[in-house]
Structure 1
Amino acid sequence: MADVKLSETYACVPSTERGRGILISGDPKTNNILYCNGRSVIIRNLDNPQKVEVYGEHAYPVTIARYSPNAEWIASADVSGTVRIWGTHNGFVLKNEFKVLSGRIDDLQWSPDNLRIVASGDGKGKSFVRAFMWDSGSTVGEFDGHSRRVLSCAFKPSRPYRIVTCGEDFLVNFYEGPPFKFKQSLREHTNFVNCVRFSPDGSKFITVSSDKKGIIYEGKTGQKLGELSAQDGHQGSIYAVSWSPDSKQVLTVSADKTAKVWKISEDGNGKVAKTWTSGSGGVEDMLVGCLWQNDHLVTVSLGGVVNIYSASDLENDPLTLSGHIKNVSALIMFKSDQSTVLSCSYDGLIIRWIRGVGYAGKINMKDHAPIKCFAAVEGEIIFSGFNNMVWRAPIQGNECGPVEQIDVGSQPKDLSVALNAPETVLVATDSGAVLLNGLKVLSSINLGFTVTASSISPDGTEVILGGQDGKLHIYSVSGDTLTEEAVLEKHRGAITVIRYSPDVSMFASGDANREAVVWDRSTKQVKLNNMLYHTARINCLAWSPDSTMIATGSLDTNVIIYELGKPASSRKTIKAAHLGGVYGVAFADECSILSSGEDGCVRQWTVTLQ
């Protein structure tokens, strides 16, 4: 049977939240960065963005991850208040897990000697901050002084050790230790203080706030030194700040959709050296995260666009990366172009990837989100949401032409396009089917059973509708008339997906009871039996272009590849292909399969036949 290896990951982008900054962090020794999406921590290399690893061991959504100063370990924290400490030596190795706070952790930082970690966030009573030993979890100090959620914390990277915290009570608190004790509250801000960071040399720290100010303090005493100049300053909340490696500049990002590089003088005042404006000015272009990583300046927008600038040449155009934030529910490959992949997520984002290159642009359909059913033919996309509308739109590269719509009378459950007659679209609804020619309804038929999946033959002369009852109903199409030709019974669960083989001699179906079946189209007999190796519902399936292999993707997180002519038991399983479940599969060619899922990632696997 075939051997399967992961060849590329087109990564999700960081989870973002309006009105709140996000944290991305870097490896002290390489150009790897860490960010979080759902329950995943993404490790990504800025020099080669396709080089991606995903850590998915948290039970709850992850909020922050950071390398230790010696780069040996990573500490990541989640919304339940749990911190996990793990390494990446020969796979992922868990060192420790501690319950640190009773609510969401918003920030954490290591001490420079790699022995202690401070975490801040939401807690019960007054426990918004905790510092602990990395090996035992024992607490090192008392952190009084905050009355509301603590959004950020920082460890002074040189002796004598200090910890600074800031948050929603407008306070910046300064602690000396270890063991750490409250020293003073700094009350310079008049709104949420979103981020605090020490300079790499430990001589200063900076706080940035929703009051549009950045204030610089002396690192050892906490005495205020100066401010970021209001001239050319930010016009909105400043969400994040990051120092340059030489401690002489900072990068800030703001809700005003700009990123700024500031030169920090010895006396602690900041002047703008460079301003970049994000996007075309929509809400999605607000900037919520940033990182100065060696020669790379990284910014992240609310819509998940990552821009990477060169610190040594601020005039250079950035490298732009993007991707999905949410579940990727559909993958499309076109016959005429085997290098391009379209992926669609529930939130209305359609992304174009080039195999071997990665991100190649996006089509934003958020005005029409959420997208429930999605199909595409050369140069056109067809999709529907949770109302009665089906939309069609021409696409040219990353541009989408005028979107036209038709009301099909009830909510679409599935839609399928006749590939050789793309004007013809079959829309499955709760109790029947609608045949469309372009934006005209040819016929609307009530079939008397609950339809859960559908497929139309490439020439548009036959349709198969799968029911809640597990039966497959086959109809011939003549003009606007459907005539029932056969009913096939084998499935023991609701049909979830039906696909014709590229040579149109077979079709395959999958169900909610984890079984897939391959059928001979002319005899209506089962062609491949016992495809029962998933442990949960089958969400998607795809044929190889030569009609010799089938791939199924399931809620159980696995992709299984079967070869026709061989027993199902000789299958190849890709285990844990996508955290949370697989929702899209597609063959690029006989040797490459793509998958997508709940984790927001698209992966390419190389299949080697033996």
Structure 2
Amino acid sequence: MAGRIDDLQWSADGMRIVASGDGKGKSLVRAFMWDSGSNVGEFDGHSRRVLSCAFKPTRPFRIVTCGEDFLVNFYEGPPFKFKLSSREHSNFVNCVRYSPDGSKFITVSSDKKGVIYDGKTCEKLGELSSEDVHKGSIYAVSWSPDGKEVLTVSADKSAKVWEISDSGNGTLKTTLTCPGSSGGVDDMLVGCLWQNDHIVTVSLGGTISIFSASDLDKSPFQFSGHMKNISSLSVLRGSSDYILSGSYDGLICKWMMGRGFCGKLQRKQNSQIKCFAAHEEEIITSGFDNTISRISYQDGQCTNEESIGVGNQPNDLSLAPLSPGLLLVAFESGVVFLRGEKVVSTINLGFTVTALAVTPDGTEAIVGGQDGKLRLYAVNGDSLTEEAVLEKHRGAISVIRYSPDLSMFASADLNREAVVWDRASREMKLKNMLYHSARINCLAWSPNSSMVATGSLDTCVIVYEVDKPASTRMTIKGAHLGGVYGLGFADDTHVVSSGEDACIRVWSLTPQ
């Protein structure tokens, strides 16, 4: 197809697929054999994007399509050929679905109507009751397993269950509402599925609600996640290990190891997140507005949030948890010192700063530059004293991390190279880490300091063992479509990654 695919359906025998979407000419709909890709029909009759399609699950096979031209088209086959069009709707027809026995199909539309047809002939049988109609566009529909009820979801933020009579008319059985709705556009329901005893709805904001079909009064189980690039994550250890992740749009989510989504953190202001750090009872973020947000975090919730203007656009930040309130923020030409909610000094270093890291006790800092050099500084009060300059990288430094035992540190650059350094001798401990094909965005150490992982724009995560040559690496190919932007170790054998695809994945490592 020449454009986006909006819907696809399998035939009941698992041999054919019909897909619909946007395209040119006759390429708005295609039906083909799954194994060979050969076409099994010609689909004339639509002039605009086709939003949905349905395959009749019983013989004789039929295909129904609907779309932005307000038409419902009916095809007989295989090979499938146009039979007739129905013009019962006065707006976009958003979804079509066959009943499990193939005797009926239903279409729903932005005109707030649902129309039921005979599955074999496309003759109109009836409609959903106009008395209890949705107050907004109906976006999706799904049949119950016994074919006697349907589920609809709408822009009015509600889901409705309808009883379908043998004659084809629908009467309202109940209206389902999702708890915790803010009333905003994100709460509009745009997708649904009735699978066995589970009724599933999906909102525009990405919240999935699962109701019990046998007990519709019971509150649904809900879970959600990120909708945008997850730019960073932090693995926090305590009585139970969990992950905090921040996405570009300002959303922070909590995830429990072994369980998954555990809730969204409600912030006072959902500003965009560029840099992110977390430690036990504090979360620190920076966006694109020259401010740092220090967020108090207790019992799984944000309790207080303070915004501090730093006068420059932050490039990176590093927290010293053992030095009360100390936070170093890198900006284009230097470093800002924060203690608590106060900026105590701004130091211009005379070169372009791209990354930094500070030891947990706040006594040493490493600053990476656009020139590829690593500069080591002693932290004296609120000032920096340069102690050494390390040269190995051939590109701008993108990330620096100390090992948990503080005996080493690792750095990576935009020229796809990473280096592990011995902190005492300041010599390279592991080099030739040149196995990415694009810039390195993130880096993480294992808790026992024996492994270091790098994540790159090339979609891969590479794990190196510090005491072995770089050539013995473990590579996770295609970890995240669009690039890897966040990395952490859950423990010594599990890596957590996040990326452009708005997903978080946990990987189990099996050393070579």
TM superposition score normalised by structure 2: 0.93
SS at match of 1:600: coil
What do residues 210-234 of structure 1 show as CA deviations (whole Å, max 9, x unaligned)?
1111111121222222211233331
Match in the other structure for 1:417: 319
Match in the other structure for 1:584: 486
Instruction: Map 1:379-458 onto structure 2 (within 5 A).
Output: 379-458=281-360
What do residues 108-127 of structure 1 show as CA deviations (whole Å, max 9, x unaligned)?
22333444333222222454
**One-letter amino acid of the structure 2 residue matched with residue 311 of structure 1:** A
Distance 1:402 1:233, change over 3 A: farther
Match in the other structure for 2:98: 198
Match in the other structure for 1:283: 185
How many angstroms does 1:496 deviate by? 0.8
How many angstroms does 1:160 deviate by? 2.6
Match in the other structure for 1:322: 224
Q: What are the ranges of 5 or more consecutive residues in structure 1 without an aligned counterpart?
A: 1-80, 82-101
Match in the other structure for 1:268: 168
Measured in 2, the distance between the counterparts of 1:126 and 1:544 equals 54
Residues 248, 265 of structure 1: 8 Å contact kept:
yes
**Aligned length, in residue pairs:** 510
SS at match of 2:166: coil
How many angstroms does 1:344 deviate by? 1.8
Residues 338, 589 of structure 1: 8 Å contact kept:
no
Higher RCO (C-alpha under 8 Å, 6+ residues apart): 1
How many angstroms does 1:597 deviate by? 2.2
**Percent of aligned positions that are identical:** 70
How many angstroms does 1:355 deviate by? 1.0
Residues 228, 271 of structure 1: 8 Å contact kept:
yes
Match in the other structure for 1:189: 89
What do residues 277-306 of structure 1 show as CA deviations (whole Å, max 9, x unaligned)?
123222221111111112221111111111
Q: What are the ranges of 5 or more consecutive residues in structure 2 without an aligned counterpart?
A: none
**One-letter amino acid of the structure 2 residue matched with residue 173 of structure 1:** N
**One-letter amino acid of the structure 2 residue matched with residue 123 of structure 1:** G
What do residues 379-424 of structure 1 show as CA deviations (whole Å, max 9, x unaligned)?
2211111221211222234432343212211211111111213511
Match in the other structure for 2:273: 371
Distance 1:531 1:120, change over 3 A: closer
Residues 338, 588 of structure 1: 8 Å contact kept:
no
Measured in 2, the distance between the counterparts of 1:119 and 1:607 equals 38
**One-letter amino acid of the structure 2 residue matched with residue 558 of structure 1:** C
Match in the other structure for 2:110: 210
Match in the other structure for 2:195: 293
Choose which of 386, 390, 409 in structure 2 pairs with 1:484. Answer: 386
How many angstroms does 1:458 deviate by? 0.8
Instruction: Map 1:229-244 onto structure 2 (within 5 A).
Output: 229-244=129-144
Residues 268, 305 of structure 2: 8 Å contact kept:
no
Match in the other structure for 1:251: 151
Distance 1:200 1:494, change over 3 A: same
Measured in 2, the distance between the counterparts of 1:227 and 1:266 equals 12
Measured in 2, the distance between the counterparts of 1:344 and 1:138 equals 44
How many angstroms does 1:426 deviate by? 1.0
Match in the other structure for 2:57: 157
What do residues 125-147 of structure 1 show as CA deviations (whole Å, max 9, x unaligned)?
45422333444444444433322
Distance 1:204 1:609, change over 3 A: closer
Residues 377, 422 of structure 1: 8 Å contact kept:
no
Distance 1:120 1:531, change over 3 A: closer
Choose which of 496, 516, 521 in structure 1 pairs with 2:398. Answer: 496
Determine if the alignment matches structure 1 residue 553 to structure 2 residue 455. Answer: yes
**One-letter amino acid of the structure 2 residue matched with residue 171 of structure 1:** L
SS at match of 2:361: coil
Determine if the alignment matches structure 1 residue 124 to structure 2 residue 24. Answer: yes
Measured in 2, the distance between the counterparts of 1:321 and 1:364 equals 15
Match in the other structure for 1:55: none
SS at match of 1:523: coil
Determine if the alignment matches structure 1 residue 597 to structure 2 residue 488. Answer: no
Determine if the alignment matches structure 1 residue 105 to structure 2 residue 26. Answer: no
Residues 474, 486 of structure 1: 8 Å contact kept:
yes
Measured in 1, the distance between the counterparts of 2:113 and 2:369 equals 60
Residues 456, 483 of structure 2: 8 Å contact kept:
yes
**One-letter amino acid of the structure 2 residue matched with residue 463 of structure 1:** A
**One-letter amino acid of the structure 1 residue matched with residue 445 of structure 2:** W
Measured in 1, the distance between the counterparts of 2:300 and 2:73 equals 48
Choose which of 68, 76, 84 in structure 2 pairs with 1:168. Answer: 68
How many angstroms does 1:273 deviate by? 2.0
Determine if the alignment matches structure 1 residue 148 to structure 2 residue 44. Answer: no
How many angstroms does 1:335 deviate by? 3.7
Please, which moves more after superposition, 425-434 or 170-179?
170-179
Measured in 2, the distance between the counterparts of 1:298 and 1:586 equals 32
Residues 550, 562 of structure 1: 8 Å contact kept:
yes
Please, which moves more after superposition, 418-427 or 485-494?
418-427
How many angstroms does 1:369 deviate by? 4.1
SS at match of 1:190: coil
Measured in 2, the distance between the counterparts of 1:526 and 1:193 equals 63
**One-letter amino acid of the structure 2 residue matched with residue 191 of structure 1:** N
Distance 1:520 1:116, change over 3 A: closer
Choose which of 353, 360, 383 in structure 1 pairs with 2:255. Answer: 353
